[in-house]
Each structure stands twice: as structure tokens, then as C-alpha cells.
């Protein structure tokens, strides 16, 4: 079975009630490719607003989640909280979480397992810095990040991998189609070796890193790029063009 193209919006720490309403109105009123799965990830406090106003068929993700069920964990958000307000996905291991909040591979793997075990789909991020790319360590870095998840989980049916080269996030730089495809192939080979060929073939691998309406169509043509994790462009009308990249 062909992998269904998935486009996910990561609003990061941006937005307001008014702007989230506006973005959702745009999604509701636009003609979207019916063969593309669309997920949006607003700031946590706007998830309920998004779910109540977003048309059916578009799913909602959190940008992070705790690996604890409940209790004295001030400031954290549980899986049950997210499910209660209509979220069905969470993004985990984003480079900004790893860099600014020191989330290790082990923490990302623990969160992934807990989210999956309790019913949330996960978009697991991996990617290298510019220094790591220039020193030829891209594949080794990505494999190390994913190995922790491989060791922690057994069921990959609700995992999506997002390859996001750190040097291309929010910089306006983008990996060439060849660079992106090359890493996606490496990730698929890694999954085949470490999990199974069936999981490797079925798992969707997204590209994230300054995806825009200008580069999305060429990236979408690559055999192993199964969608996008979109940052800044998800806050603009261009997000509709990115959703429709394969048309």
C-alpha cells in the first residue's frame, strides 16, 4: 500500500486566538488535496479552540507531551489532557526541544513510548547540525537519535519520522532535493535493518526545514519524501500550496 502523504504544521510559540481562528478559517475554506493527511500543531492552549472550529478530517497535534500519566509535575501536559481536548498526535524530539531544553535521545524515546502506549500518534524528529553535516556525520547522528526510539518501542504503526536538518530550520536555507532524498533513503535503510523491511516500507518520513511554496513541489516528487513538517510557512497562506504540493 502506498504511503499517504502527510503535511503537518508546527506553529511553535506563535499565535493568538484571533490568528489561530484566521488560520483555521483559511484551512476550512480552502480546497485541499483529498489524498493528503493534514495535521496542525498550535500552541497547547489553543488546541481546544482549534478542535472546536476546525473542519473534520484535519487532525491536531501537540508540540510536546509528558511521559508521566498525571500528578505533581508542574507545567507539564499529559497524554490524557491532550486526548481530552481532541489532539490525536504529538511532535517529539524537535531540535528546539533537544537544543534549548536539553531533551536527550533517551527522553525523546521515553516520551514516544508513553505517547504511543496511551493512544497518541507521534511525529519523531531527527536531524543534524551544520557542523555535523560538514564533517560527514549526518547519517550517524540521525541513526543514533532514532536508535533510542527503536530500542524503546515495538509498534511502529503510529510513528511518523521527520527529518529536519537543524541548519535549515528557520534559516531560509533548505536541503537540496538530492540531500533530502539521500537522508530519507538512509533512514529507511536503517529502519529495515533495525526493525523490519515492512516497517521501513510503511513508515512515513517527512522533510522539515524551511519548506515553502517555492520548494515543496520538487521535494514532494522524491520517492522517499512522504510529506512535510512545516514551521514558519504554516502561519502563512502558502501553507495551502504546500498541502497541495503533489497536485
State the Cα torsion 244-120-108-80 to the nearest 10°. Answer: 130
Residues across the chain: 247
Catalytic residue among 59, 94, 128, 132: 94
Question: 533548505: which residue's cell?
Answer: 174
Rounded-to-integer distance, Cα 57 and Cα 39, Å = 9
Bridge-based pairing of strands 227-230 and 5-10 is: parallel
Rounded-to-integer distance, Cα 206 and Cα 33, Å = 17
Rounded-to-integer distance, Cα 217 and Cα 142, Å = 25
Look up 164 and say whether it is catalytic.
yes
Residue (of 32, 92, 94, 76) closest to 57 by Cα position: 32
Catalytic residue among 37, 103, 164, 184: 164
Rounded-to-integer distance, Cα 178 and Cα 73, Å = 44
Look up 94 and say whether it is catalytic.
yes
Rounded-to-integer distance, Cα 161 and Cα 204, Å = 6
Beta bridge partners of 61: 89
Active-site residues, by number, are 94, 164
Amino acid at each position: 500500500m502506498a504511503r499517504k502523504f502527510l503535511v503537518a504544521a508546527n506553529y511553535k510559540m506563535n499565535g493568538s486566538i484571533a490568528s489561530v481562528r484566521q488560520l483555521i478559517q483559511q484551512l476550512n475554506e480552502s480546497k485541499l488535496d483529498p489524498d493528503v493527511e493534514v495535521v496542525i500543531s498550535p500552541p497547547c492552549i489553543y488546541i481546544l479552540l482549534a478542535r472546536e472550529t476546525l473542519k473534520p478530517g484535519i487532525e491536531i497535534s501537540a508540540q510536546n507531551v509528558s511521559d508521566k500519566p498525571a500528578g505533581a509535575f508542574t507545567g507539564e501536559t499529559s497524554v490524557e489532557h491532550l486526548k481530552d481536548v481532541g489532539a490525536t498526535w504529538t511532535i517529539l524530539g524537535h531540535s528546539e526541544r533537544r537544543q534549548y531544553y536539553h531533551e536527550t535521545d533517551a527522553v525523546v524515546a521515553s516520551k514516544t513510548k508513553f505517547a504511543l502506549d496511551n493512544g497518541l500518534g507521534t511525529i519523531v524528529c531527527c536531524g543534524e547540525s551544520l557542523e555535523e553535516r560538514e564533517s560527514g556525520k549526518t547519517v550517524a547522528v540521525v541513526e543514533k537519535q532514532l536508535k533510542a526510539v527503536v530500542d524503546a518501542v515495538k509498534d511502529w504503526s503510529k510513528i511518523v519520522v521527520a527529518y529536519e536538518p537543524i541548519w535549515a530550520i528557520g534559516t531560509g536555507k533548505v536541503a537540496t532535493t538530492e540531500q533530502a532524498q539521500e537522508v530519507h533513503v538512509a533512514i529507511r535503510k536503517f529502519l529495515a535493518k533495525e526493525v523490519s523491511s515492512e516497517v521501513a516500507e510503511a513508515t512515513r518520513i517527512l522533510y522539515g526545514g524551511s519548506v515553502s511554496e517555492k520548494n515543496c513541489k520538487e521535494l514532494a516528487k522524491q520517492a522517499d519524501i512522504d510529506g512535510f513538517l512545516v514551521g514558519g510557512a504554516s502561519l502563512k497562506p502558502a501553507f495551502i500550496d504546500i498541502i497541495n504540493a503533489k497536485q
